[in-house]
Structure 1
Amino acid sequence: MPRVRPELYFVGSAVFHYLGPAFAVLLFARLEPLGVAWLRILSAGLIFAVWRRPWRAWAGATTTERRTVVVWGALLALMNACFYLAIDRLALGTVAAIEFAGPIALAALAARSGRNVAALLLATAGVGALAEVSLTGSPAGFAFAIANMVLFTGYIVVAHRVSRQERLAGIDGLAMAMLIAAVLAAPIGVADAVPAATDLALLAAAVGVGVTSSVLPYVFDQLAMRRLARGTYALMVALLPATATVIGVVVLTQIPTATEVLGVALVITAVVVHRERPAPAAPEPEPLTARE
């Protein structure tokens, strides 16, 4: 849908990114974090398998494209596991703030003008105002949060590369990566997910988490990344906590504090100020000739 601005796809990703935890509440009450992570990945992988049948794109992909997707699958498996292990030990706001440090580094590397440096500083200040950071908590929690930050940064780099591949690209590449992630995460998640096998409510919650946390936001990510430069996308990650605050106002009638209002304003200003020419989209495949 070329008429839809890529920034709108990112906003869609941000909205669904924060609907997932609403379904995860039931899972966290009954399952260990690694079980939740694996069920999330597995349910998303099965949905993608039915929808996209990515093995067809895999069959025609190059060795380099396949290797990139396998790396992406490994990143998805480890990132989800570290994220849930981190939020099981630390406040979500603290984990989110740590996670943002990696994309900020990517955006800083891509900032090639004073205007973009100013946008980066505004976004950082806005996230700082929105994030509820606490330096107290489990040392293991901080270790998992830092690992999640590194893996999330890798996710942005590799996902952006996949979005521009020729054969195993975009949503098909995402679908195959999610199936690979489900296989790789199985050894650490299956045992903790066993209680959900006989509980339909838990299984339904797992599907909800998979759809809202892995299917919809990751699809929107691919649609946005295909038309946004990597540095631009990294800066827009600052919209995640801002979107969470707005959702709290609209859906939960939670009145934000003056600091939170300032944080949202700073993030929005940063996105408006930022200017970067989008990287060229992946080339369209050449039409077959009569001889071919």
Structure 2
Amino acid sequence: MTPILFVLGSCSSLQIGAALATQLFGELGAFGTTTLRLAIAAVILLVIVRPRVRSFTRQQWIAMILFGVVVGGMNGNFYAAIDRIPLGTAVAFEFLGPLTVAAVLSTRRSDLLWVALALAGVSLFGVESLTGAASLDLVGVMFALIAAVFWGLYVLTSARVGRLVPGQDGLAIAMAVGALTVLPLGTEGALVGLMDWRLLALATATAIMASVLPYTLELAALRRLPRHAFGILLSLEPVLALITGVLIIGQDATALRVLAAVLVVGASVGVTLTARSGAPDEPQPIDEEPGWDMPIPTHATVTGEMPVVLPDEDLAGDPHLAGDAGGETSRD
């Protein structure tokens, strides 16, 4: 049960972090909050990971910079979305990104049906709005859909960084690049947060809950769970986001919203269970049967900072890492 609790703890931490972030929007703005949160998370990760920046090749730098730009775009647009629409609704829309990538990369064309199921789920939000049961801010929906596109790109860029950059160096660098990416839109708000200890403390808590803690828990879970089980557990994100919105932010959970979340979760689980077979020359994780391969490096998170595609030696359990639930890579 321990790795399962790690994943559920990660998902819950991410949603709580998003809920905390909404408390900053009034004074810092969505992009100011994003900038400050990513900057704090970057500082924490850079101190912990201590990337060997001088050893990176041009190819590695390009991969990390692209990944960082995607991280910034995804986080900024997601926060702009939850500033206007409910948290659970935004997560459901954002899930369309990785689900679409999963279906496109899958060898089973029938996986497009899972995307159709997810689309049916999110369309219920439109039905709710048209019937007058609840209003839906179209600008917020637009931001959520842009975040979905960035999450789809995150899937691809994080996978490339996972292949090219050892350990967690790529994540630490990408987080810093992500903060710089949204800085032009969030400078004013970030400066306001830096000058107020109360806001800075809340932003630090947000960075820990939405970045550092979930990363630590997910990394520990990945070393103990088969990737298909890990992906299924992460598929619970829309439901957990809905629950968090109700309990912490005080948002409504209508019958249509619950049904929409269930349909999106069902689509995500379906994509995970019908994952394509790996290529013959592709390394096979030791915890799974030959031929199994996740179609995407699924990351829970609504905020997506963590590359789930890890080097094989990490998944196999480096003797220095296997007992380290803190996520810090060992160094010679």
Bin of the TM-score, shorter chain as denominator length = 0.7 to 0.9
Aligned-pair CA distance for 1:200: 1.4
Select the structure with the greater relative contact order (CA < 8 A; seq sep ≥ 6).
1
Q: Are residues 1:24 and 2:21 paired? A: yes
How many residues of Structure 1 are paired with residues of Structure 2 in the alignment? 275
Alignment correspondent of 2:188: 191
Equivalent residue number for residue 97 of structure 2? 102
Out of 60, 67, 73, the residue aligned to residue 55 of structure 2 is 60
2:162 counterpart residue number: 163
Aligned partner of residue 237 in structure 2, secondary structure: helix
Q: 1:278 aligns with which of 290, 293, 296?
A: 293
1:169–1:124 Cα change, 3 Å: farther
Q: Which whole-Å CA distance do the structure 2 matches of 1:224 and 1:256 have between them?
A: 30
Deviation at residue 237 of structure 1 after TM alignment? 5.5
Q: Structure 2 vs 1, CA of residues 117 and 90 (structure 1 numbering), >3 Å: closer, same or farther?
A: closer
Correspondence for 1:75 among 70, 76, 79: 70
Match of 2:168, SS state, is helix
8 Å contact kept, 1:32–1:192 = yes
CA–CA distance in 1 between the matches of 2:234 and 2:273? 13
Q: Which amino acid aligns with 2:27?
A: R
User: Any residues of structure 2 matched to 1:148-159 within 5 Å, and which?
Assistant: 148-159=147-158
Report the TM-score, using the length of structure 2 for normalisation.
Answer: 0.65
Indicate the residue corresponding to 1:290 in structure 2. none
Instruction: Spell out the pairing of 1:140-151 with structure 2 (5 A cutoff).
Output: 140-151=139-150
What amino acid maps onto 1:27 in structure 2?
L
CA distance in 1, matches of 2:253, 2:221: 29
Structure 2 letter corresponding to 1:274:
L
SS in structure 2 opposite 1:86?
Answer: helix
Residue 302 (structure 2) aligns with:
none
Deviation at 1:110, TM superposition (A): 3.9
**Change in 2 beyond 3 A, CA 1:247/1:96:** closer
Relative to structure 1, is the Cα distance of residues 34 and 249 closer, same or farther in structure 2, using a 3 angstrom cutoff?
A: closer
Q: Kindly state the Cα deviation for residue 257 of structure 1 after the two structures are TM-superposed.
A: 7.2
1:152-210 deviations in Å (ceiling 9; x for gaps):
11112211222233xx2452211111112223322221212222233211111000111
Amino-acid identity (%): 32
Q: Report whether the alignment pairs 1:92 with 2:121.
A: no
- Summarize the Cα distance change of 1:238–1:122 in structure 2 as closer, same or farther, 3 Å threshold: farther
Residues 113 and 77 from structure 1, CA distance in 2 versus in 1: closer, same or farther, beyond 3 angstroms? closer
Structure 1: unaligned runs, 5 residues or longer: 286-292
Matched, 1:180 2:177: yes
More helix by share: 1
Tell me the alpha carbon deviations over residues 107-138 of structure 1, each in whole angstroms, 9 at most, x when there is no partner: 22244459967766666667777999647555
Unaligned runs of 5+ in 2: 276-291, 295-308, 315-332
